[in-house]
A and B are shown apart, each in its own frame.
Chain A
């Protein structure tokens, strides 16, 4: 595993979030088995807090968040599957601080 940035260490998974469709229901946060997701400080355009991977090293890519999300806003993926899909990871966005 590469250790280019913090995301790629640890349990080997990450999440992708489509910020603007999230409705802040917190299913992903409450039912993440490793409790690595939390609400953002910021808001999306509709005024909802959205999930952020607060403890990326705990993410296993199990995709329970993706199973639960009623809004198709988040999903998880194992890093080895991510690499297998041969897509470059998008530039991580640094969210605005409050």
Chain B
């Protein structure tokens, strides 16, 4: 077997031709803390490629995350990045965006952070159609704290706080986002890297509340405790059991334990963002005495 390869050692300085994701990473913090086979890094690859293709001014892209394994994404990205409190990246991002509307603000966090403790903020930001892109990495667990049950954990799965199997009903996050008024709702897995990158690219150019759910393995906790193998085994499950149904009714796409996974772009609609509504409304009330707040809403 030929073992010829181009192998580049150690530091970025040695790299003549660099990995296209590298400009987006704080290279002095690589390697990262995520486990072997964790899907979060894969979503970051997709995000990096989406950023490259988007043509956005990266100085104006800000990333906000919460607490948890996915919450660590902000710390690795070479953008204005904010690692906030548990459950609260969305209101922080709201403040960032409304105070300086030319920023493109992406919230990158996990299922527990965004929909358990952060649930209220999720609901209201979607209702208001805040111009934010939410990347929700869903690994069905609270990874950072050791694998506790999350609002997305499928029934029957074992987690540390459901040691005899989960008897709670989980969220169907796509349905939740749709019901709350998100203008773009998509679900992919980290097997679907191309589609995920494309969804992120579309999200970066979409005005309003964008919700992208990315199913990812947690080999150390969710998979191990449920004897589901390692990261590759979860990706093989995603490959085998995923069904692409673009435009599916989000009510019909719940996730069970190792069951069918409906993926696709479910919702892509338009409605005025909160800021657009505010400006339009005040222009109506005050006419030319009103100066609209924030010239643009992004770079699209």
Contacts and interface: CB of A to CB of B under 8 A. Distances in A.
Q: Decide whether A and B are members of one complex.
A: yes
B46 interface: yes
B6 A23 contact: no
Interface residues of B, number: 45
A66 B45 contact: yes
B6 A15 contact: yes
Interface in A1-37: 5-7, 14-21, 23-27, 30-31
Contacts of A68: 42, 45, 190, 193, 235
Given A6-B2, A72-B22, A27 B37 contact: yes
Contacts of B190: 68
A95 B7 contact: yes
A90 B16 contact: yes
Contact of A95 (B3, B15, B32): B3
Contact of B21 (A14, A25, A66, A88): A66
A92 B5 contact: yes
Contacts of B49: 67
A38 B22 CA distance: 24
Given A67-B197, A68-B45, A72-B22, A55 B2 contact: yes
A72 B17 CA distance: 14
B230 interface: yes
B193 A64 contact: yes
Contact of A7 (B6, B15, B16): B6
B20 A66 contact: yes
B241 interface: no
Contact of B14 (A24, A31, A77, A90): A90
B2 A69 contact: no
Contact of B6 (A30, A64, A66, A89): A89
B2 A54 contact: yes
A41 B1 CA distance: 11
A67 B232 contact: no
A48 B40 CA distance: 19
A70 B40 contact: yes
B16 A67 contact: no
A17 B7 contact: yes
A92 B38 contact: no
7 contacts: A21-B30, A40-B3, A52-B7, A71-B34, A72-B19, A89-B6, A90-B16
Interface of B: 1-10, 14-17, 19-22, 25, 30-32, 34-42, 44-46, 49, 190-191, 193-194, 197, 230-232, 235-236
Interface of A: 5-7, 14-21, 23-27, 30-31, 38, 40-41, 48, 52-56, 64, 66-72, 75, 77, 82, 85, 87-90, 92-95
